[in-house]
Each structure stands twice: as structure tokens, then as C-alpha cells.
Structure 1
Amino acid sequence: MEVRTEAARNALQNITGPSLVVDYRGVPVVSAYHRLNIPGLNWAIVSEIDQVEAMQPVYQMRSTMVLIGIGVCFLITLLTWFVSVPLSQRIDGLKDIVLQLSQGKLPGKPLLTGNYDEIGQMIQAMNQLILGLRRTSLFASEIGNGQLQSPYEPLSAEDTLGNALIQMRDKLKASQEKEIVLSRQRTTALLEGEENERRRISRELHDGIGQLLTAIQFKINAIEGQEQARKEIKTILDETILEVRRISHNLMPSVLRDFGLEAALRSLCNRTAQATGWQVSFSFDADPEAPALSQEFITSLYRIAQEGIHNAVKHAQATKLDVIVDHEPDQVQLRMRDNGKGFDLQTYETQDGEGNGIRNMRERTHLLGGKFQLISRVGEGTTLVISVPLGEEVTERMSD
């Protein structure tokens, strides 16, 4: 059989090599051919295999690689989705917080940090910022409410807002302290003016009216006749002299100036017992190590006791009154306790307000730098406790 193919012609022409040709069937084949070097013979070896059959493993490998590529792409896409969704959620959370902060709102709950990567570090820093802003907001609210003693620690040395609030608090505190000092000075001046006026009126009553009344008494005693009218006039005049002496003593008791606080309070208690018929007890305990009290301090404490006894006589409906003074090295404490009708403190403060007597005692106590405590229950009497610390601060306040 004669075969006329491209592979046969190439082989007989001494062309060697494999190539892709069409065989005698008209089917593409992979052909390998080579001419035989045999003398006298013009032969060649041709070996062929169909292209489809030869390329079947390649096609299978290509299909496998395509499937593997598709699977790898799917896995990469799935992995990217699993990584990017939580990442985008964390970024969205940060975005929402930044938007809220831009509107002046503080988020209620902190964000979960999650992985400690760059975004996790940003979330942690944002949570710290929110916590710091919440503390700063609370601190600003406390300043607005006048709580100037509230502690605050800025986020850092460069915390502009925190440091500005601290400076504002310190300035307000200094202004408040200055106002307190000025108020004390004004109150001290008023009380000093009041005491000076009391002394002046007491002196004028004693030296002026008292002497005139005494002179009239002598004149009446010298008048003869009309014994009954003279006795009546003398009785009225004696009562007037006693009343003038009582008023002068209440304005400025000489015993306070001449003999000190203990003697003045004892005299006040004795006169109260005589005037009311109450059982009034007085106790004065002074520690040997206790410092001497200034005249201003003694006068203020006496006025507090005087006002307290006056209030008890006026309102308590009591039969017994205890006045106790403890003069210790570090403080002076005055306690007054009666067995009167008492009252409900809460109702008294909310409905009736604070009376002038209690207000005056409270102001004098605060002026001394002391603590004013009022204890009362209906049917159980009333107790008043005045505690004034002693030291350089009290001395400075009284000297001012």
C-alpha cells in the first residue's frame, strides 16, 4: 500500500523529528519519524499516535488544574470574607463612635478590642478616650454643682481639657475661699460693731440713766411727808433701776469682761434659774493644758450660750436645763440640753425654715470655725452641741 503522508515524505527526505501532521486517514496525529541508514534500502521508521489520544493526559491535567484553581479561588474568597467582615465591623464600630463623639455624645458601652492588632490598639485607645471623657464630664458636672474638692487625674500631662478644668476648679476654689474670708470679715465686722454698740448702750445706761435714777432715789428718800406715795414711787423706781441693770447686764455683762467665761455663764445660768424656776445645772471643765481664750472668742461663745438659753426658755416648755462646757487643749465644746417638748427637725427645716436665734448661733459657730449640731425629737427635748477647734486658724480668724 502506498502511503503518501507528510511524515513519510519528511522521513524519506532525511528530515528527522516529531511533528504534528495529518495521517492518511485525515486525522491529526503526533508523528515521529527517522530514515534508516541501510545501504541499498530507502527505508524510514514512522511512529504515529492520534493527537487526541496523545493529549488526553494533558487535557485531564488541564481540567484538574482548572478545578484546583477554581477551588483555590473559592477558598481565598471565603477566607477573605471571613477576615474582612469582622474587620469591617470593627471599623464600622470605630466610625460610629467617632460620629457620636463629633456630636458631643459619649457611647454607653465600650467596644470589644478583639485581636490586639493595629485596629485593636485603636479600639483600646478609643475606649480609654471615652473613659477619660466620661470622667472629665463627671468632673465638670461636679464643678458646676460646687463640689470643688472632687479629685481628678488628667489623662496625661498634655490633657488640654482636663488641665483646663483643673485650672478652672482651682480658680473657683480660690474665689470661693476669698469670698468666705470676705464674708467672715464682714460678719466679724458686724458682730464687732454689735458688741461695741452693746458696750456703748450698756455704759450709757449705767453711767447716764442709772446715775440719774439713783439720784432721783436719793431725792425721794429725802422728801418728808406723803409716806404712801413716796413708797409707791420708790417701789417703781427700784424696779426701774433693776430693769436698767438687767438690760445693761444682758447687753454686756461686766462679769464676762472682769472674771471670764466660766463666771459669766454660771451667772447666766443662776439668773435663768431664778427667773424661770427651772433646775439649771452648769458644769465647766478646763484642762490644765488648754490654751487661754481670746476676749473675742469668749464673747462669741457667751452669745451662743445666751441665745441657746433664751430659745429654750421661749420655746422648750422645759423644767430642766443642763449647760456643759469642756475646755480641752484642742477644742472647746458647749452642750446645752433641756427636757422640753422637742420638735421634728425635718419638719422644722422644710416648713418653718430656720429661726433667727438658731441662725445667729450657727453663724457665730461657723465664724469661729466650729461645728454646729442640733438634736431634737418630739417629746424628748433638745440638745445643742457647739464644737470649736483651737489652734492658729482660730486665732487668725478672730484676729481678722
Structure 2
Amino acid sequence: MSSIAWIALGSLAAWLWLLLGQGFFWRTDQRLPRRTAPGSWPYVVIVVPARDEAEVLPESLPSLLRQAYPGRAEVILVDDDSTDGTGKLAQELALRYDGLPLTVTSPGEPEPGWTGKLWALRHGLALARARRPEYLLLTDADIAHEPDSLSELVAAAGSNGLDLVSQMARLRVTTGWERLVVPAFVYFFAQLYPFRWINRERAWRTAAAGGCVLLRTDAAERAEIPDAVRQAVIDDVAVARAVRRAGGRVWLGLAERVESIRPYPRLTDLWRMVSRTAYAQLRHSPVLLAGTVAGLAVVYLAPPVALCAGVFGADAPGDTVAGWAGFLAWAVMAGTYAPMLHYYRQTLWLAPLLPFTALLYLLMTVDSAVQHYRGRGAAWKGRTYSRPEAAPDR
């Protein structure tokens, strides 16, 4: 057989394994577990780190202030050295909307060894812990919550003995590029961190989605959050790992009533979103980068190439094998992607385009490595975290 036929057969074998052996990552049924209202609703403090978020705050912050939570709750917004009036706007919104109490504070520029978001969280969590709440809700400034979101999260945590409950917010999908790239982002994340595996009581792999994390306060203290993860660029996964290492139970699933409102209208916007952390996910390892590029090429790009070889080179038996193997691998690939497209309410005709989307992600990952070695690293809103300095001893 031809070399392309062997590659296509390898791709098909990989897809059959992904279909059945990777925690059924492609299913989208991991939603909040069973929930029973507690007899006494615990006290919750919501902490929102915000840097230059004046564009999205008028929609996201009121959704927190208007939470229909039966117990005591309040909001702390940490203005992370914004230049667009984020803090002042938050105070104006609190006056305009009659809801949960709001505190706006600012920690100043991060100390060496801290990424900006975790530095803001450190300041917000210190204020929150002084109030002695039972739970902390860590949520991003671009996340909008339905009025019962906090109640549902708390009920799920209490009913199932969970220390961390995280929902992956439904991302905005409006423009053509968002339709092409965003559902695949969540699909690839679930493939890397299968939710079913994470939600096992004794899971060896864990993760969280930073846009919506409900955390038991005593679990955060045992895990030394955020100090234990102060250098993390991918902070949500680092927080979940720290909680798990400290003996906590973690749950992660897809959100039904929590949405990100941040727009990514152009390909360049989506490119920056992915590339700023892609190489950090690979631990800045050239070996892992090479393996990832090769894996993406074999698993995602080889099937359509092999199918074309089979159609246009059918005189050779090897090309016929390549064509059939490529077709079957591409069909399994599209079939596993269809549930995520359905979750995002997108046409299933996008499923066969996954190889093209995977090519974009491959290029974004390579670009992430290039930016890292140029010293630009994980750039975000005027800050760059290429190689964070060591934090001083506590």
C-alpha cells in the first residue's frame, strides 16, 4: 500500500479510539448534576476580576447584581488597573440596578511572579474571606448569568458534596468566523479534558472553565488558592488541579444559562484568543509542539487528503484503501463534532469543515510558540507573560 494509505488507516484507528476510548468527550450531556435546595442557603461572595471591560460590563454586571439568590450574597469587582473607566462604570451600574451589594476595589499593578488575573483574584479573595462566606463564585467580567445561576450552582455543590463546580459558559457565536472556530474550541477542550473523566470521584485528570467557578471557601484555603497557582497563565486548569491535589471534589460541564458576551468578530480576534495560551498548554516544550503538530496533521488533515488521493488516484490499489480509510475517518470526525454544533445551535453542515478549522488551530499553536520565543508570550490587554519571574517566598 502507499504511504498515504498507511497514514489514512492510522487516522481511522485514531478516530475509532477517540470515539470510544476518550471518555465519550464528544457527548454534550455533562450538565449540572442533580440539585436539591438546601434547608439554609449559604453565604456567597462573587469575585469578578476586570481589566478594561467597559464594553461588556453593562450587560454582564447587572446579571450578577440581579441574582435571585435566596440567601445572602454580594459582589466584589476588582478593577485590575483599567484605563477605560471600568471601576467607575461598575459603581454607576450598581446605583442604577437595585440588587446585590457591590464593592469595587483595585490592587494596583501585579507583583513579580503573578499573572494579572490571579493578582486581581488574590486581592478580591482576601476581601471576600474577611467576610467569611461559605462559597466563592469566581466569574469573568464578560460572563452573563441568568437570574437563577447562583442558586443552581450552590444547590449542585451542596447536593453532591462538590468543592468546585465549574460551567463552561456558552461562547458567543454570531459571525461567520465565530461559527467556524468557537464550537471547535470547546470541542478540542473537551477532547483534551473529557468531562466524564474529570467528574469521577477519583479522577486523575482535572480542569475547570475560568468564566464560572463556584468554590467552597475552605477548599480554596486548603488548596492555597490563588497563591499556589500565582504564575499560571491557564489559571482555571491550575486552580482545579490545586483543589484536586488538596483532596477536593471537582465537577466540570457545559452551561445552559451562563453565557460569554465577549465578541470575536474577526479571525484576528479569535486567533489572539487561542494563540495567547496554546504554547503554555504545551508547557513551552518544542517536543510537545512537534508532537501536537504531527498529531493534528495525521488525525485531522490526513482524512480529506487521503480521500482526494483515493478519488483522483484510483488506479493504484493503495489509493483506493487510502480513499476509503480517509472517508471513514472523516465521517467519524464529523459525527463526533455534530453534538457540539447542535449545542451551539449551528448547522450540521459545518461538521465536515472541521479539518479546515483544525488547520487554523495548528497555525495558531505554531504562532503561539513563535510569539513566546520572540518574548511576547501570553499577551493580554497590554500585559505579556512570556516567562513570569519567580514569586518571592511567602
TM-score clears 0.5:
no
Q: Greater helix share, 1 or 2? A: 1
Give the TM-score band, short-chain normalised.
under 0.3
Q: Using CA pairs under 8 Å that are at least 6 residues apart, name the structure with larger relative contact order, 1 or 2.
A: 2
